[in-house]
Chains A and B, each alone.
Chain A
């Protein structure tokens, strides 16, 4: 779609807002509808939008394959580490109350990091799925 000037300009404007909206959904998840799942999907959608307009190679330069795969693993690791932090600080697994001297603050802190982990993994997984499906060529033949 290299020649569609309108699409390219509009897309460039929209992607910034989409990413911003993803962050809003992410951080507003404590008080209203939202959270890591939704925010992760929205941010991945922004990148996929970029790939649709500017082509897959361009998107791969912005968010390279290795980064996507690292995100898939890193988010889960972050989540699990928050759980282990609960054990280290004297509670049970995924115990947020012990993460801060004030239990309520501990809850907020725990949920913040867990949601960050969810965000990273979900956007990573969505992009990975998109890259895998979009990157397949019919005449490449089966890779076994």
Chain B
């Protein structure tokens, strides 16, 4: 009986955990609850994934109101894949949080930190499972507001400014999204995404559809940090507490990519609005700009966290490049890269958090010779860096390989070269870390550092090993992503 309620429990479990933590007002109890909620969410997501893996679609009516009148949670393979990714990352990062948060967040705020973490998780999962455009906005804001708070909890005072800038840009993005949804609602009279897709073709000659598409595209692009709209991201990731950076870098932008996919391939695809408009060239140009310019900026950063934050902007470029091809290969590459990048960046930021915990900073001029003092942490960063570059046998290779295949399939060999070329930039910035960590004499301060605590190393290394495991055994990721890509290209059901 309980299995038929999985879609709503996916959201409600972390959502109820958050106020419970506030009522209990204890840091330790809050952490325990957060672990319980995240792992339960992971189990639910796995259950849902198995249920829809065969091509089923699960539909859940909130309050038993039938769609399109009530809010419907509608889960197909795409949603389930995303929910699984988000809850997996959350389940791993929450274990890591214990030591990291103890060091970076004042004691009396621990329970609030975990409450925000649970809220952010429920917001992200809500975006993943809902089939209602306005409900999606509410979840988008739940996750965004809680992530502003999480970022502002960083030790550095610059975290405050980063959170403020993210708040301004994120709110503008969300408001643009609501304007787009409002225009669609005025045109179609429905907020249910599937119903909207069915009704849009009848009104597609109306210019408001184009305005709605533009608003939604810009709004979501702000949230997913597409290249010229990425300005909030580097500071937010660089100054947030380490655990928050690991969690957000691995999930928040990915969920926004999903929203974009949902609107482009489910809602708008039937309306014929893309037919004679040069959308693909625009997306390809912006993606290439992200891949090259953000990678180039990354090379010149002095703060390792900022470096990898810029690298995140570049990796978003790979994802959107794959998506903009609009082919099965391209979409598969985009979705696999979504997963791979989440695992890789999660591992990188978690390991960097270990250095931040022991040394208090992750600036290049301070971490010279860290490879000798913290061997496991540094080696993990190098391995995850290899995955970021896309060395064979890592997950990064799988998605870039598919990206190259997709480019060749279109007959654009230069795009394939662009993918390879920008990966060379990744070699440069990963090498900078190798050089500083292994070829410099450790300062006295670095030399007496101990290795990061086990409760942080184990989750981080789990992610590093996942980079290799999913690089060798591509069945789950490629199978899931391929099925998701095909289901998206089939259009509205």
Contact = CB atoms under 8 A, between A and B. Distances in A.
A80 B12 contact: yes
A95 B19 contact: no
A92 B5 contact: yes
A70 B63 contact: no
B124 to A, nearest CB: 18
B157 interface: yes
Interface stretch (B20-28, B267-275, B316-324, B436-444): B20-28
A96 B19 CA distance: 22
Interface in A86-131: 86-87, 91-97
Contact of A144 (B8, B18, B106): B106
Given A83-B12, A92-B8, A93-B5, A73 B63 contact: no
Contact of B64 (A70, A72, A76, A97): A97
A80 B60 contact: no
Given A77-B23, A93-B8, A144-B155, A86 B16 contact: no
A85 interface: no
Interface in A22-45: none
A68 to B, nearest CB: 11
Nearest to B159: A144
Contacts of A77: 16, 19-20, 23
A96 B157 CA distance: 47
A95 B64 contact: yes
Contacts of B23: 69-70, 73-74, 77
B157 A142 contact: yes
A77 B63 CA distance: 17
B366 to A, nearest CB: 20
B61 interface: yes
B16 A80 contact: yes
Nearest to A121: B19
Contacts of B106: 143-144
Nearest to A94: B63
Interface in B50-106: 60-64, 106
Interface string B1-37: 0100100100010011011111101000000000000
Contacts of A96: 63
A84 interface: yes
A66 interface: yes
B12 A73 contact: no
Contacts, number: 62
A73 B157 contact: no
Nearest to B154: A144
Contact of B19 (A73, A84, A94): A73
Contacts of B25: 66, 69
A97 B66 CA distance: 13
A92 B61 contact: yes
Contact of B22 (A72, A83, A94, A144): A72
Contacts of A69: 22-23, 25
A83 B64 CA distance: 11
B8 A74 contact: no
A83 B9 CA distance: 11
A132 to B, nearest CB: 12
A121 to B, nearest CB: 8
A87 B1 CA distance: 9
A91 B19 contact: no
A96 B60 CA distance: 16
Given A73-B23, A76-B15, A93-B60, 19 more contacts: A69-B23, A73-B18, A73-B19, A73-B22, A74-B19, A75-B19, A77-B20, A77-B23, A80-B12, A80-B19, A83-B12, A86-B63, A92-B60, A93-B5, A93-B12, A93-B63, A95-B63, A95-B64, A97-B64
22 contacts: A69-B22, A69-B23, A72-B19, A72-B22, A73-B19, A73-B22, A76-B15, A77-B16, A77-B20, A77-B23, A84-B12, A86-B63, A86-B64, A87-B8, A91-B64, A92-B61, A93-B5, A93-B12, A142-B157, A143-B106, A144-B106, A144-B155
Interface of A: 66, 69-70, 72-77, 80, 83-84, 86-87, 91-97, 142-144
Interface of B: 2, 5, 8, 12, 15-16, 18-23, 25, 60-64, 106, 155, 157
